[in-house]
């Protein structure tokens, strides 16, 4: 891996999210000066981070914040997202936030060298149903509005005008530790498994039979951060988009017994349920677990989004992204799927979030 230059300054937009917090922590540890932007400070915090609460949708507020703390920024990481049920509105909103970030840095006189975008496999239409697999970076764009498309188009054009470079990375479902982040797959598994154990029930698969049997993929947050550092400091990554996926693929049916063993329960088969409905009343049980085991997070909603679990465990088609391009470009990071899930779940346990 390329060693970061301790003289560089990076601005991380969306620093309170699972990706933003992870890359900010790694950069700080590597000697970078890091400015983090988000509405709320990352939790757990990052010693050494310069955090500024800001709404990236507010052009003037963004410029004021960046002028005060980021006039020396050489790198920008866009890892934020402002969701909206209307894809066209979401695309316009998120692209405007990116524009505000970059133009704010330019207005501050920052010696910008590279802008890194964190996108995903929705580029290929993975959210809609079966798509071409393994997905390759030059595959046709999925139909419909998508802020990934608009952001990449804008940043590539601006880079050509301004003389800096850009990279876009496309992970899939993320595996890592976080609190208060709604799209964390491991948070779903951690809370679901802990509650199944507390109720004395086998660990049944709450998704669909099709999802149980289909080919799936995840991206270890540590692997993604490795790829982000590589992209930020490797000239060959400039002007390119890369899939970032763990080295293997899996089926939930094969990992489910291992998950059950982690929680100390018996593995069960498919028992489809809507988690957002069946687990909506689990707060009292969770409070009991917090008291019994001295857990650190009393708010179950900061650990898990049941509606995201329902989405994730109902993907009844194959998810497969090719990693040939990034490997041929020189990135050598490797993570395994069970390793990723087991390590992340263990961190939830070490931090006393689950028993």
DSSP string, 47-67: TT-EEEE--TT-HHHHHHHHH
**pLDDT(3) > 80:** no
Closest CA to 313 of 354, 279, 349, 281: 279
Print the domain residue range for 192. Answer: 176-217+249-319+335-350
Same domain for 207 and 74: no
Share of the chain above pLDDT 70, in %: 98
Q: How many domains does the structure of the chain reveal? A: 2
Same domain for 99 and 233: yes
Query: Within a domain: residue 325?
Result: no
Same domain for 300 and 287: yes
Indicate the SS3 state at residue 257. Answer: helix
Q: What is the rounded CA–CA span in Å between residue 275 and residue 272?
A: 9
Same domain for 168 and 33: yes
- Tokens 């890892």 correspond to 79
Strand ranges (DSSP E) for 28-186?
33-38, 50-53, 75-78, 114-118, 165-170, 173-175
Tens of pLDDT, residues 152-178: 999 999 999 999 999 999 999 999 999
Long-range contacts, 236-239 (Cβ 8 Å, 24+): 236/329, 236/330, 237/165, 237/167, 237/329, 238/114, 238/165, 238/166, 238/167, 239/156, 239/159, 239/165, 239/166, 239/167
What average pLDDT does range 25-30 have in this prediction?
96
Same domain for 79 and 224: yes
Same domain for 265 and 150: no
Query: Within a domain: residue 188?
Result: yes
**pLDDT(342) > 60:** yes
Considering the entire predicted model, what is its pTM? 0.94
Whether residue 354 contacts residue 168, with contact meaning beta carbons closer than 8 Å, is answered with no
pLDDT, residue 6, reads 52
Query: Within a domain: residue 2?
Result: no
Half-sphere exposure for 237 (CA within 13 Å, toward CB)? 25
**Ranges 1-5, 64-68, 72-76: which has the least confidence:** 1-5
The DSSP letter of residue 139 is S
Query: Within a domain: residue 328?
Result: no
pLDDT, residue 169, reads 98
């Amino acid at each position: 891996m390329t060693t970061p230059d301790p003289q560089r300054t990076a601005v991380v937009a969306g620093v309170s999210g699972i990706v933003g917090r992870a890359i900010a922590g790694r950069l700080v540890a590597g000697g970078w000066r890091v400015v983090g932007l988000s509405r709320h400070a990352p939790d757990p915090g990052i010693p050494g981070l310069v955090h500024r609460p800001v709404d990236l949708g507010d052009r003037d507020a963004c410029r004021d914040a960046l002028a005060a703390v980021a006039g020396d920024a050489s790198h920008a990481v866009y890892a934020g997202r402002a969701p909206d049920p209307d894809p066209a509105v979401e695309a316009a909103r998120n692209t405007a936030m990116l524009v505000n970030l970059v133009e704010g840095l330019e207005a501050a006189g920052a010696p910008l060298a590279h802008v890194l975008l964190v996108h995903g496999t929705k580029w290929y239409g993975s959210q809609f149903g079966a798509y071409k697999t393994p997905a390759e970076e030059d595959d046709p764009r999925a139909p419909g509005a998508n802020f990934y498309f608009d952001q990449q188009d804008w940043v590539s054009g601006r880079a050509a005008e301004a003389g800096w470079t850009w990279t876009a990375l496309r992970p899939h479902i993320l595996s890592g530790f976080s609190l208060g982040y709604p799209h964390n797959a491991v948070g779903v598994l951690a809370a679901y498994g802990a509650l199944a154990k507390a109720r004395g029930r086998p660990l049944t698969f709450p998704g669909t039979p099709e999802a149980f049997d289909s080919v799936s993929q995840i991206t270890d947050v540590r692997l993604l951060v490795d790829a982000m550092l590589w992209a930020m400091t490797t000239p060959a990554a400039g002007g390119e988009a890369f899939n970032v996926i763990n080295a293997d693929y899996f089926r939930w049916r094969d990992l489910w017994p291992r998950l059950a063993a982690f929680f100390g329960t018996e593995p069960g088969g498919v028992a489809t349920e809507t988690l957002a409905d069946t687990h909506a009343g689990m707060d009292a049980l969770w409070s009991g677990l917090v008291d019994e085991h001295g857990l650190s997070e009393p708010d179950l909603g900061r650990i898990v989004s049941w509606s995201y679990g329902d989405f994730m465990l109902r993907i009844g088609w194959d998810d497969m992204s090719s990693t040939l391009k990034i490997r041929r470009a020189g990135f050598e990071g490797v993570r395994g799927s069970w390793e990723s899930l087991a390590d992340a779940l263990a961190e939830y346990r070490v931090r006393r979030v689950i028993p």
